[in-house]
Structure 1
Amino acid sequence: MLLSTKREEQRGAAESSLLHLIARFEATGSAVEVNFRQLMSSDGSTNKSAHAIHPYPAKLLVNIPQFFLAALPTVSGSALLDPFCGSGTVLYEGMLAGLRPIGSDSNPLARLITTAKLTPLDRAIARRHLDEVMAAYPSASPNIPDVVNRDYWFSERISDCLGRLKTAIQRNVPAPYRPVFDVSFSATARRVSYADPRLSVPVKINPDRSARYGAKGDEVIRRLVRLGEVDVGALFWSIASQNIQRCPELGQLFAVDRPEIFSDARSLGVAEASVDLAITSPPYVGAQKYVRASSLSLGWLGLTPDCKLRPIERQSIGREHLAADEALTSSGTGIPEADALLEEIVERNPLRARIAQRYLLEMRDALSELSRTMRHDGNLVLVVGPNLVAGLEFPTPFFLQRIAEGLGFSTKLHLLDSIASRGLMTKRNRTAGLIQQESVFLLKRVRTGA
């Protein structure tokens, strides 16, 4: 009763705050600065929830979807779409709010984590499967898949232990329970690698450079010593036990038992005009290293055949690399300001110009598909930040807002939220810059045709 009352109070406060913010935006025509941590304070259980089941990078600040889910009108069981769902922050919060989660992500690790977070399980049965895995692990034959530069990132002993764990999981865990076990296995593999734990993208710990590690340098070097003695099985058991407790319990009143998760935001298996609410944070233009950050996990999960990451990256929007045939398109992006900026970027760095233009073209396709799925008067919350491309400011929020408005959306609110620390991998290279502030748009679907 107390929890229900608290939620109603939060909803009332959020609705009032949103109306006030919209009024300020309409009165000034300028973006309104906010602090979502203060606007929607967490209930204190966030770190113990399913959001913590895996150290996936660049997670969306949970306060943002919590605020809009509380402030916007929703109908229990209606669809909530996140076409760039990452590790499922938006969809998990939506499921807790009684909505039906629909997501998409090009990274198979992201899809796996999201599925694990959103799939209710019988915890007693899951723990029994964990006991069976641990009983089989010591004598299992190691199954070691293609892992990029495996000998560089893992000792032979640890590779053998991970291979035996993989075999034990495959033989003892049925399909409905595999996501949480595979996610736990992925997190274990990262923990027992030679990768610097402070960084999202794998960078090998180098004892000869300890002076560069700053105040935590000794702690980072001691990690290498601990890796020589770590009990891989015990570590996996600890991570899996916690994750089983974090995942939703079978029998809880969720809108669906299995979420809908697709692999391409440009081609969603969703009926036309069937979504009332979408909340999403698209990738940044050539600034995020999602695939490289996932490389060790992807390899141990058997998702990088022939040790190649490029096939996965080629499916991504905002990727680091382009194929030779992905040339600069002479017809442009359809946004005059973007085309003018791209002409300047070409003079400095033709490759970066190609990456930026391809990003906008592919985001147009993704937003067009999102527009197709949205109902008239449906709400879209779009979270996106600017960054530098070849040393020039690239106003991605403005460009994506223009694209969305051309596809049948109207801007109802523009907020600015400072980024304190969200694990963002935004310093792609020396010309990419760091993202200090995000734009959060509330857009409404106003036309039936794009």
Structure 2
Amino acid sequence: MSHIEIFDSRYARLKAVDWDFTDASQDSLASIHPYPARFIPDIPRELISGLGCDKGAVILDPFCGSGTTLLEAQRAGFESVGIDLNPIACLISSVKTKELPPEFLPVAHDVYEQAKNTFDGYVDIPTIPNLDHWFKPDVQKALSSLLTHIDEQSDVNLKNALKLALSSIIVRVSNQESDTRYAAIDNNYTANDVLESFLTACNKIHEAKKRNSVNLECSKIFNQDILSVLASDFDKPVGLVITSPPYPNAYEYWLYHKFRMWWLGFDPIQVRTFEIGARPHYQKKNGQTEEDFRKQMSSVFDLLSDVLLSGGHVCFVVGRSVIKGKIVDNAELIRNVAENHKMVLVANIEREIAATKKSFNLKYGKIKTENILIFRKD
């Protein structure tokens, strides 16, 4: 059961919420594309409801992932800004939070037919490391043919939605055993299976968007390293920040999306280089430490201090890490960083994480709880 500490009586209403969210569930938009450790929507929904956001300000998620906070902000009637280094995360967030063009399904069928008709001719296949090991020749050709006709689209929102559909099937039609198991197996996918799977994915996106339409579009999504974002990049002030930073030494988002990035023309090696928290940074002999994570979070709070309105709130959802055998209390680390930036801790909520309702992949460190820290900028 969640344990709630309130340090300012004005926030006593937060005690009425069961922050464990044992009955939490994802809506159909969450399933349009695979993504590890999705943020459960109940957390940002309750934080937005309980804390609010100044009119004319935006809600920011500086580690937006698959866009859960952005979508909940829209549903509550607020503009939102998301930042993520991972281009696949930004693609998912963009499609979730922007209007799906009405011609999406007819164009998807056209792309399907064009790819089918041109499959027997020459198809330019991208250069991807170990491509033949991970993708059968006909699968390579089918994916390349679809991508060629997707790239012919001029409408950005339409192209992004089609690319998301393609991205969602890439691992499934590969020789990779699963999204999280990187062993090669001999699957039986054919070129026709690839084309049919693409069309099915397009229909899935269309149905999910139809059931979850929002009137307000996300104001901006930065596909950028958070440590390189400047206050001048924002055209509106921030009234509320809700995020869950990557836990150090806990996960490798770049690896999960590696083949998707290669196929869509992105560079997963660059993402790996700058990805905060990624396990390779901590596994090397002279690798990163708790102090590196502290410095990274301090840089994030430098930005938040500049863009956040006085009286605005910063909410971090974070659990512990294990680095070189040492348990690191990331919640205490974030608290110290925030308070060094003159932000006041108003609530600390420790929530239990149901095994099937994790907001993060907790295999590493066997984490069973996480903290929601709420700060106010006075």
| AA aligned opposite 2:117 | S
Aligned-residue sequence identity (percent) comes to: 23
Secondary structure at the aligned position of 1:61 is classed as coil
In 2, distance between residues paired with 1:391 and 1:93? 37
1:47 to partner: Cα distance: 2.7
Contact kept, 8 Å, 2:59 with 2:70, in 1: the verdict is yes
In 2, distance between residues paired with 1:291 and 1:265? 15
Matched with 1:95 is: 74
Contact kept, 8 Å, 2:32 with 2:205, in 1: the verdict is yes
The reply to whether residue 171 of structure 1 matches residue 132 of structure 2 is: no
1:62 to partner: Cα distance: 1.4
The reply to whether residue 351 of structure 1 matches residue 313 of structure 2 is: no
Matched with 1:389 is: 323
Matched with 2:114 is: 136
Gaps of 5+ in 2: 10-14
| Residue 47 to residue 272, structure 1, CA distance change in 2 (3 Å) | closer
In 1, distance between residues paired with 2:114 and 2:236? 49
Matched with 2:12 is: none
1:201 to partner: Cα distance: 3.5
Matched with 1:433 is: 365
Secondary structure at the aligned position of 2:274 is classed as coil
**Aligned with residue 277 of structure 2, among 305, 314, 318:** 318
In 1, distance between residues paired with 2:275 and 2:304? 16
Gaps of 5+ in 1: 1-17, 27-31, 207-223, 323-344
1:319 to partner: Cα distance: 2.9
The reply to whether residue 47 of structure 1 matches residue 22 of structure 2 is: no
Structure number with bigger Rg:
1
Count of residues in correspondence between the two structures: 365
| AA aligned opposite 1:320 | R
| Residue 247 to residue 258, structure 1, CA distance change in 2 (3 Å) | farther
| AA aligned opposite 1:186 | S
Contact kept, 8 Å, 1:272 with 1:372, in 2: the verdict is no
Counting helix residues as a fraction of each chain, which structure ranks higher?
Answer: 1
- TM-score, scaled to structure 1: 0.73
In 2, distance between residues paired with 1:349 and 1:232? 38
Contact kept, 8 Å, 2:56 with 2:236, in 1: the verdict is no
| AA aligned opposite 1:360 | R
Compare 68-77 and 394-403 and name the one that shifted more.
Answer: 68-77
1:154-190 C-alpha deviation (Å, 9 max, x unpaired): 1111111111111121124632311111111111111
Instruction: Let me know the Cα RMSD of the aligned residues.
Output: 3.1
| AA aligned opposite 2:77 | G
**Could you say which structure has the greater relative contact order, defined with CA pairs below 8 angstroms and 6 or more residues apart?**
2
Secondary structure at the aligned position of 1:99 is classed as coil
| Residue 65 to residue 194, structure 1, CA distance change in 2 (3 Å) | same
| Residue 93 to residue 251, structure 1, CA distance change in 2 (3 Å) | closer
| Residue 144 to residue 356, structure 1, CA distance change in 2 (3 Å) | farther
| Residue 142 to residue 25, structure 1, CA distance change in 2 (3 Å) | farther
1:56-111 C-alpha deviation (Å, 9 max, x unpaired): 11211111111112222235663000000011110011111111110101111111
In 1, distance between residues paired with 2:375 and 2:210? 31
**Aligned with residue 38 of structure 1, among 21, 41, 46:** 21
| AA aligned opposite 1:351 | N
| Residue 33 to residue 357, structure 1, CA distance change in 2 (3 Å) | farther
Mapping 1:32-431, distance limit 5 Å: 35-36=18-19, 38=21, 46-48=26-28, 50-75=29-54, 78-123=57-102, 125-140=103-118, 141-172=122-153, 174-197=155-178, 200-206=179-185, 224-227=186-189, 231-247=193-209, 252-254=214-216, 256=217, 259-266=220-227, 267-268=229-230, 269-271=232-234, 274-304=237-267, 309-322=268-281, 350-352=285-287, 354-419=288-353, 420-421=355-356, 422=358, 424-427=360-363
The reply to whether residue 443 of structure 1 matches residue 375 of structure 2 is: yes
1:198-251 C-alpha deviation (Å, 9 max, x unpaired): xx4351255xxxxxxxxxxxxxxxxx5543586111110001111123236999
In 2, distance between residues paired with 1:101 and 1:117? 12
| AA aligned opposite 2:286 | L
1:270-299 C-alpha deviation (Å, 9 max, x unpaired): 449811111000011122101111101001
Matched with 1:29 is: none
Secondary structure at the aligned position of 1:413 is classed as strand
In 2, distance between residues paired with 1:111 and 1:257? 12
1:191 to partner: Cα distance: 1.3
